[in-house]
Amino acid sequence: MSSAVAAPASHSVPAIRVPIALEERSYDILIGSTLLDDAASWQDLPRAAAALIVSNETVAPLYLERLRQRLASQYARVDSVILPDGEQHKDWDSLNRIVDHLLARAADRKTVLFALGGGVIGDMTGFAAAIYMRGVPFVQVPTTLLAQVDSSVGGKTAINHPRGKNMIGAFYQPARVIADMDTLDTLPPRELVAGLAEVIKYGPIADAAFLDWIETNLDALLARDKSALAHAVKRSCEIKAWVVGQDERETGLRAILNFGHTFGHAIETGLGYGEWLHGEAVGCGMVLASDLSVRLGLMPPEFLTRMRGLIQRAGLPVRAPRLGVERYLELMRVDKKNEGGEIRFVVIEALGRAGMRGAPDTLVAEVLNAHCD
């Protein structure tokens, strides 16, 4: 697993290191309360004359000024670009706005980008950082549960295409992740629940004991108990760092983080981005992927019952929208895991262990028919 390094005393969780093969690209994830006000977390950031904070119209009024104050002592110039909110804006237009902003200010190649927001802002800021002048540093400041447990870590950056989710992007690691858990206080309940989907994911793919822990502590998580949330964020980041550290560019192992996503991304794209949240689609997608694991003979039927029960208890949808089997198959044919035209699914092989399999269309159709409204 990843090595933990000493953290300033104000962090409630020791920093977690993401060990990328080239040490100079490894970085720390800081998780705790009051980090937005804690000077220690913001020391030793990449040096530059200028910083650009990328946020959206919902998050900026809540946290932008505090972040600007943190950065003002380190960067002579701190600008911001505020994008429209929503998954439907994870597109070329928003990406262009970031790049336009950088060019309009003649930003140099040391300029540091700060992604202040959820996964949508994080994915787009990271992508802009990857392509502006062929790469400038960026820092993730995740403010949703989903972003703190998953999207801010690991360097997958992207925008969506109408035909497929995250289809245009790059692997590009942040210089640091600073997850102030106090920002979750303002998160709407539906978004908290969406984040729980990615937390639940880590259990069946990598840590059976964590799955037990989530089941036992689900009510505390839903009630926003701080210590339960801190453990969920910490354990999720440890697992993600451990996976990414072994397979940064998804040549094999990293695909386990895609459990539930083949069906989930089809739901998001099929409905048009934004109707179902990413976490909701992944939650439902895990029900279908669990059923596929059972129908392939890898897991007993009780596994599906257990996963569906937990996902439903969390408040996530367990019935998929009725898009039609043919449409689902068409959507899933546009997936980055596919090879040679074969749709490949992440399946559970044993509790805490996942793998990747193809499946006959007829079996996938059975799964879809069993769980679609």
Ligand X SMILES: O=C(O)C(=O)C[C@@H](O)[C@H](O)[C@H](O)COP(=O)(O)O
Ligand Y SMILES: NC(=O)c1ccc[n+]([C@@H]2O[C@H](COP(=O)([O-])OP(=O)(O)OC[C@H]3O[C@@H](n4cnc5c(N)ncnc54)[C@H](O)[C@@H]3O)[C@@H](O)[C@H]2O)c1
Q: Which residues are annotated as a binding site?
A: 85-90, 119-123, 143-144, 156, 165, 183-186, 198, 261, 278
Closest CA to 268 of 144, 119, 83: 119
Q: Which is nearer to ligand X, 12 or 88 (CB)?
A: 88
Q: Which of residues 192-221 bind ligand X (CB under 6 A)?
A: 198
User: Which of the stretches 99-107, 109-117, 251-259, 286-294 binds ligand X when contact is defined by CB under 6 A?
Assistant: 251-259
To which H or E segment does residue 78 belong? strand 77-83
3-state secondary structure 164-193: EEEEEEEECCCCEEEEEHHHHHHCCHHHHH
Instruction: Answer yes or no whether residue 173 interacts with ligand X by CB under 6 A.
Output: no
Among 156, 231, 235, 308, binds ligand X (CB under 6 A): 156
Instruction: Answer yes or no whether residue 87 interacts with ligand Y by CB under 6 A.
Output: yes
- From the annotation, which residues make up the binding site for Zn(2+)? 198, 261, 278
At position 2, the amino acid (one-letter code) is S
Minimum separation from the CB atom of position 21 to ligand Y (A): 18
302 Cβ contact list (under 8 Å, min separation 6): none
Three-state secondary-structure class, residue 146: helix
Question: Could you tell which of ligand Y, ligand X, none binds residue 117, using a CB distance below 5 to 8 A set by kind?
Answer: ligand Y
Please say whether the beta carbons of 110 and 48 come within 8 A: yes
- Please give the residue whose beta carbon sits closest to ligand Y in the complex: 119
Instruction: Answer yes or no whether residue 59 interacts with ligand Y by CB under 6 A.
Output: yes
Question: Phi and psi dihedrals of 275, rounded to 5?
Answer: -70, -50
Question: Could you tell which of ligand X, ligand Y, none binds residue 180, using a CB distance below 5 to 8 A set by kind?
Answer: none
Question: Could you tell which of ligand X, ligand Y, none binds residue 183, using a CB distance below 5 to 8 A set by kind?
Answer: ligand Y
Among 11, 70, 90, 336, binds ligand X (CB under 6 A): 336
Three-state secondary-structure class, residue 273: coil
Closest CA to 120 of 159, 153, 67: 159
Instruction: Answer yes or no whether residue 187 interacts with ligand Y by CB under 6 A.
Output: yes
Distance of CA 308 to the CA centre of its chain: 21
Three-state secondary-structure class, residue 260: coil
- Rounded Cα distance between 133 and 215, Å, is 46
Q: Which residue's structure tokens are 């439907």?
A: 88
Q: Which is nearer to ligand Y, 173 or 290 (CB)?
A: 173
x-marked contacts with ligand Y along 112-151 as a string, rule CB under 6 A? -----xxxxx-x-------------------xx-xx--xx
Question: How long a stretch of residues is the chain?
Answer: 373
Question: Could you tell which of ligand Y, ligand X, none binds residue 173, using a CB distance below 5 to 8 A set by kind?
Answer: none
Minimum separation from the CB atom of position 275 to ligand Y (A): 13
- Rounded Cα distance between 64 and 115, Å, is 11
Q: Which is nearer to ligand X, 38 or 238 (CB)?
A: 238
> How do 353-358 and 344-350 pair as beta strands?
antiparallel
Minimum separation from the CB atom of position 198 to ligand X (A): 6
- Rounded Cα distance between 341 and 319, Å, is 27
Any idea which residues carry the catalytic annotation? 134, 156, 198, 240, 250, 254, 258, 261, 265, 278
Bridge partner residues of 52 (DSSP): 79, 113
At position 73, the amino acid (one-letter code) is S
Burial 268-307 (b: 16+ CB within 10 A, else e): bbbeebbebbbbbbbbbbbbbbbbbbbbbebbeeebbebb
Question: Could you tell which of ligand X, ligand Y, none binds residue 336, using a CB distance below 5 to 8 A set by kind?
Answer: ligand X
Instruction: Answer yes or no whether residue 367 interacts with ligand X by CB under 6 A.
Output: no
> How do 164-171 and 156-161 pair as beta strands?
antiparallel
Minimum separation from the CB atom of position 337 to ligand X (A): 7
x-marked contacts with ligand Y along 188-207 as a string, rule CB under 6 A? ---x--x-------------
Residues lying near ligand X in the complex (CB under 6 A) are found at: 150, 154, 156, 165-166, 198, 250, 254, 257-258, 261, 336
Residues lying near ligand Y in the complex (CB under 6 A) are found at: 56, 58-59, 62, 85, 87, 90, 117-121, 123, 143-144, 146-147, 150-151, 154, 156, 166, 183, 186-187, 191, 194, 278-279
